[in-house]
Amino acid sequence: MKTIKSLSLSALALIISGSMMLYGCNGTGNGSAKGADSTASGNSDDNTILGAGSSFDNPLFSKMFSEYNKSNGLKVNYQSIGSGGGIQQLTSKTVDFGASDAPLNKQQDSLMSSPVIHIPVTAGAVVVSYNLPEVKDTLKITPAVLADIFLGKITKWNDAKIAAVNPGVKLPATLITIAHRADNSGTTNIFTTYLSKVSESWNAGPGKGSNVNWPVGLGGKGNEGVAGTIKQTPGAIGYIELAYANQNAMPYAKIQNKAGNFITPSIASVTAAANIQIPADGKVSLTNTDAADGYPISGLSWVLIYKEQSYNNRSQDRATKMVKLIWWAIHEGQQYGAPLSYAPLSPAAVKVGEDLLKSATYSNKPIL
């Protein structure tokens, strides 16, 4: 049965401070951008672009959009409300773009008023972070052990199955507390897609998705909320994007990949996982990679926009500015990923992104 408990005030403060990023203009923290109904439809400031969604992308977008504002003067108000929230706001056309770490599913796609294109914008790692101050060694975790922990079958850190893959490490008898997302999350989709691939029990149980019925654990909103829960709860384990773990100096495990190697999540190991053929629609999963040096819980993230941009009295100038922003993000903007632990897009992913952006139209005429 899904269990969601309230976070402490300290964790809540972390969520509030991290879950809303503003670039050159004022915004709100309620999951919608101030003035979104008028601004996104082109009835006010066309020099402010509105986006919402993935908290996985938030550290990268914060840097990208700040730098773009310096060089181009365009303001970007991005709300880190989770992939599901971004998809909802794109559906209601209250933002110019959504951001998601999972492609639209059939139901989400059916609710869109017109075709949506998925432009790959970055690749990153979902890490398994834990709070065990007494353990100085980096823990190793196998796929089977990871699934059993999140299924609630392994309940203490000194369980024999954990000890077997960590010989010589003194593990405490501390109870394990699971930290997971409470909102619709692309990060959750990456993590649960991986578990569904490596564990028949998980695949038959919670399964994969952006919001699953967690057997056990505490729910947090956004990567920020899960990171806060882990940091404040001794014995906690949870999944967060690599940038959040590094920014908060949080330890994370080496995960055994399909080749049997225990891999540290890093730019190099995500790049190895992402070195695959990218389909023309940009939609692909990187989890459980065949690459011997690839990190198995890696994923792409996408910017989502309507293919036809002339809607809701939207101006051509606004549509053009947004498309040029995304073009910059998949080219010059990639330089800002590595310092924040994101892997740059592969040449194949960039080419797919270029083709998709060239397909965007205004009144049925190409924007670029």
Closest listed residue to residue 285, CA positions, set 199, 162, 195: 195
Q: Are 292 and 273 a contacting pair, CB within 8 Å?
A: no
Q: Do 108 and 235 fall within a single domain?
A: no
Q: Are 193 and 285 a contacting pair, CB within 8 Å?
A: yes
| Predicted TM-score (pTM) above 0.85 | yes
How many folded domains does the chain comprise?
A: 2
Q: Do 105 and 148 fall within a single domain?
A: no
**CATH number of the domain that residue 249 is part of:** 3.40.190.10
Closest listed residue to residue 264, CA positions, set 150, 129, 122, 102: 129
Q: Strands 298-306 and 361-362, how do they pair?
A: unpaired
| Residue 230 within any structural domain of the chain | yes
Q: Are 305 and 360 a contacting pair, CB within 8 Å?
A: yes
pLDDT in tens, 106-144: 999 999 999 999 999 999 999 999 999 999 999 999 999
- 258, 273, 288 - which closes a domain: 273
The β-bridge partners of 362 are 365
| Residue 294 within any structural domain of the chain | no
Range(s) of the domain holding residue 343:
9-122+300-366
Q: Do 132 and 263 fall within a single domain?
A: yes
Q: Do 105 and 137 fall within a single domain?
A: no
CB atoms within 10 A of CB 128: 23
- 254, 273, 292 - which closes a domain: 273
Q: Are 58 and 23 a contacting pair, CB within 8 Å?
A: no
**Which tokens go with 185?**
């999350």
Q: Are 40 and 93 a contacting pair, CB within 8 Å?
A: yes
| Residue 279 within any structural domain of the chain | no
Q: Are 190 and 212 a contacting pair, CB within 8 Å?
A: no
| Residue 101 within any structural domain of the chain | yes
**Largest CA-CA distance found in the chain, in angstroms, rounded:** 66
Supply angle C-alpha 306, 312, 314, rounded to 5.
75
Q: Do 233 and 306 fall within a single domain?
A: no
From first to last of the 368 residues of the chain, give the pLDDT tens digit.
Answer: 434 333 343 443 343 344 333 333 333 333 444 333 444 654 458 999 999 999 999 999 999 999 999 999 999 999 999 999 999 999 999 999 999 999 999 999 999 999 999 999 999 999 999 999 999 999 999 999 999 999 999 999 999 999 999 999 999 999 999 999 999 999 999 999 999 999 999 999 999 999 999 999 999 999 999 999 999 999 999 999 999 999 999 999 999 999 999 999 999 999 999 999 999 999 999 999 999 999 999 999 999 999 999 999 999 999 999 999 999 999 999 999 999 999 999 999 999 999 999 999 999 999 99
| Residue 20 within any structural domain of the chain | yes
Supply angle C-alpha 200, 204, 209, rounded to 5.
105
- For residue 334, the 8-state DSSP code is G
Q: Do 136 and 261 fall within a single domain?
A: yes
Q: Do 221 and 308 fall within a single domain?
A: no
| Residue 4 within any structural domain of the chain | no
What is the residue-wise DSSP string for 53-103?
A: E-STTHHHHHHHHHHHHHHH--EEEEEE--HHHHHHHHHTT-SSEEEESS-
Q: Do 27 and 154 fall within a single domain?
A: no
Q: Do 132 and 208 fall within a single domain?
A: yes
Number of H helices and E strands in the chain, helices first, is: 14, 14
Q: Do 133 and 261 fall within a single domain?
A: yes
Residue 68 backbone phi and psi in degrees, to 5: -65, -40
Q: Do 148 and 214 fall within a single domain?
A: yes
Residue 122 host element (H or E): strand 116-130
Q: Do 115 and 136 fall within a single domain?
A: no
| Residue 292 within any structural domain of the chain | no
| Residue 278 within any structural domain of the chain | no
Supply angle C-alpha 263, 264, 269, rounded to 5.
75
